[in-house]
Amino acid sequence: MGIPRSVIDQTIERLVKEYGSGYRQRIHTGVHQAARRWQKTDGSPEDFQEFCRKHFFADAAQRRTVFQRFLDKLESLYGNLHRIYREFHRELHVDSGRMSPVDLLFAQYNPFAHVQEDMFRTRLAFVVLLNFPIYSLAEKDRLGRTWERRQWAEARLADMLVHRIPAPVQQQRSAAYARADEYISHYNIFMDKLRIHGKTGWFPPGVHLISHWGLRDEIKALYPDPNGLTKQRMIYTIMNRILRQEIPAVVINNPDVEWDPDSNRVYRNGCPVSDPTLPEADRRYQHLKSIFEAERQVDAYTPDTPSLIDRRFLLDREMEEAQVEALIIDVLRAPVLKALARLIQNRLGRALEPFDIWYTGLRPQAHLPEAELDKRVQKTFPTLTAFQEKLPWILQRLGFSAARAAELSHRIVVEPARGAGHALGSQMRGDSAHLRTRIPEQGMNYKGFNTAMHELGHTVEQVFSLEYVDYYTLHGVPNTGFTEAFAFLFQSRDLHILGLDAEDAARLDWLYAHEMWSAFEIAGVALVDMRIWRWMYQHPDASADDLKRATLEIARDVWNQYFAPVLGMKNQEILAIYSHIIDAGMYIPDYLLGHLIAFQIFSYMQDKDLASEMERMCKLGRLTPRVWMQHALGEDISARPMIEAATRAIKNLKRRH
Ligand SMILES: [Zn+2]
């Protein structure tokens, strides 16, 4: 921005004169890319010109050397910083005894915080920008289909240095997200303090649920309970009070008062609180608005993607907004949903309620009791060490050759998780992926083993897509949906590993019906999330109260268009309850994409050899989702496989009844 046009033109002419007009296009692109990001503190216009003369590499061999240097050094940089990250998070992630308060401080240390700025300060970023063109998503999707691997790897190198966002702007943004996260993660409802029809004691003492996940999961858990419906309706009323912001501020995260969500009255020690209780008003939407304002500050520094909407779609997911919206609508309009709704209605024996978007009764049940499965697991994997030692055996049972199974196992470290399980891949070859799963004191049980199989799918993908990929900048998979696919595949073979055959057709039919119903719910929330962000960019000066009203209207519109025809009732606002709408900056569409992509790969794999297909797919590395899918499956990302599988499943289930 600090380089005058005349200096840019002069720099280009000098380089063309030196290397010949055959290089004009490359020189033009490179000098402009670098100039756009050059700031006063980087040097004078003369310094810029001198820098370009010294660091533009016309010669192919020289350019290849520079490229290789970046691959090697970046692998060392990111790989070693990642090892520090893993060590600093060890006590938080791994069950290693009592935590010390200092462990949380270590976990807050971000070793990657200054990498980007240091790359620019040292001018290394400018070497990349001067020599390697940045391609747009459309270009990568179109040209990338026939690119050589090297071209892809070069494009990914340039992608790493596209943005230069000043530290204060980045800090403001992180602070806005952190405040919203803090707000959401302390939003508990004390269920044991609910007073309904004049009575308390609806939930056991000490039960408090976080909005909205805890509340939603309680609705799910109440389905088998014969008296569940009253409580489910109660929770639904609570959710509506929250999203409309009618909830009295005093009941949030407060065990000292009782609340009747129907009348919205507050009690202390059984007596009504006489002064009018203040509603929360618009704090929820204030947080969303603060995030929007922080993102607007970033907009100025990402001229090619000048809104969060552009950044989320074109950079993070690498799928165009219109393509994602079309996938969402395909799911929401799937004709099979009406048949699924009828099936659910029959199973429940009552008319549907709006919260039945969370119905879980379609999920296939294991045909052995959990205690029996626990015994089986105990016998095969008495300890976590046994699981680690048997990794090669597990992988061979999944179809990997003895040699591959040994290589993969060698790169996977199994550890006990403190929280739920997770898989932490590495960032440099020769390091290991870390698989963590939760182990109760009595030893490994079926739940821990089932999670371990899911995480094993992730870690095997992580090892393949790092150790077996030809260029460092291409390591990984296009986005989280792709790695979830492999995790689900491994998890779905868990009974096979235990020597129990689970391949019965009815199980898969229930699974497909369940997947479709879950996709329906999350597709609705994703569409609401996207429309809220569009509305905010169209009304940048709106108040938090305006934003609240707009959000509720969007939620009602989406409901009336797609949910009312399936469930029956109109004008519900419940799709707006999702907490990540408030604190995650339009992240929800990723959940749906994850479901669709994972399902597509999962169903493609059903009649294929998992081991060889997985290796082939993972070696593709981080192409764009579209190009990856073309190479891996020979088709574009689509909701069709899920809709077709659910449609077939419903027919089969009817036939069997
Ligand atoms: Zn996962």
Instruction: Give distance in angstroms: CA of 647 to centre of ligand 1.
Output: 26
Give me ligand 1 centre to Cα 158, in Å: 29
CA of 593 to the centre of ligand 1 (A): 14
Q: How far is the CA of 617 from the centre of ligand 1 (A)?
A: 18
Question: Which of the pair, 532 or 304, is modelled with greater confidence?
Answer: 532
Beta bridge partners of 189: 209
Per the CB < 8 A criterion, the answer to whether 452 and 491 are in contact is: no
Q: What is the mean pLDDT of residues 322-328?
A: 97
CA 484–ligand 1 middle distance (angstroms): 5
Whole-number Å distance, alpha carbon 451 to ligand 1 midpoint, is: 9
SS3 568: coil
Q: Ligand 1 mean position to 18 CA, how many Å? A: 53
User: How far is the centre of ligand 1, averaged over its atoms, from the C-alpha of 635 (Å)?
Assistant: 24
pLDDT score at 196: 86
- The average confidence (pLDDT) of the chain is 93
Cα 421 to middle of ligand 1, angstroms: 9
- How far, in Å, from the CA of 592 to the mean position of ligand 1? 14
Residue 124 C-alpha to ligand 1 middle, in angstroms? 35
Determine what percent of the chain is predicted with pLDDT higher than 90: 77
**Residue 454 CA to ligand 1 centre (angstroms):** 6
Q: pTM for the complete prediction? A: 0.90
- CA 179 – ligand 1 centroid, Å: 26
pLDDT score recorded for residue 426: 97
Half-sphere exposure of 310 (CA within 13 A, CB side): 16
Report helix, strand and coil shares of the chain as percent, to nearest 5: 65, 5, 30
Ligand 1 centre to CA of 457 (Å) is: 8
From 249, 289, 246, 324, select the one nearest 573 (Cα to Cα): 246
Given a cut of 90, whether residue 271 has pLDDT beyond it is no
Residue 653 CA, ligand 1 centroid: distance in Å: 29
Span 2-47, pLDDT tens digits: 799 999 999 999 999 999 999 999 999 999 999 999 999 999 999 9
* Ligand 1 mean position, distance from CA 490 (Å): 11
Residue 598 alpha carbon to ligand 1 centre in Å = 10
Residue 79 alpha carbon to ligand 1 centre in Å: 22
- Is the pLDDT confidence value at 502 over 70? no
Instruction: Find the radius of gyration of the CA atoms of the chain.
Output: 27
Tell me how far apart the alpha carbons of residues 589 and 318 are, in angstroms, rounded to a whole number: 12
Give phi and psi for 99, each to the nearest 5.
Answer: -90, 150
As residues whose CB is below 5 A from the ion ligand 1, the structure lists 487
What's the rounded Cα separation, in Å, for the pair 281 and 261? 16
Distance from residue 595's CA to the centre of ligand 1 (Å) = 11
Q: How far is the CA of 487 from the centre of ligand 1 (A)?
A: 6
Q: Is the pLDDT of residue 453 over 80?
A: yes
CA 77 to ligand 1 center in whole angstroms: 26
Question: Do 550 and 573 touch, CB atoms closer than 8 A?
Answer: no
Distance 455 CA to ligand 1 centre (A): 6
Calculate how far, in angstroms, residue 464's C-alpha sits from the geometric centre of ligand 1: 16
Please give the Cα distance from 266 to 270 (Å, whole number).
9
503, pLDDT greater than 60:
no
Sort 524 into a burial class: Cβ within 10 Å, 0-12 / 13-18 / 19+: buried
Banded model confidence at residue 273, pLDDT cuts 50, 70, 90: confident
For 199-213, what is each residue's pLDDT tens digit? 888 999 988 898 998
- Proportion of the chain above pLDDT 70, given as a percent: 98
- How remote is the CA of residue 483 from the centroid of ligand 1, in Å? 7
72 vs 366 pLDDT, higher one: 72
d(CA 651, CA 643): 13
Q: What is the pLDDT of residues 124-139, one digit of tens each?
A: 999 999 999 999 999 9
- 452 CA distance to ligand 1 centroid (A)? 10
CA 444 to ligand 1 centroid distance, Å? 19
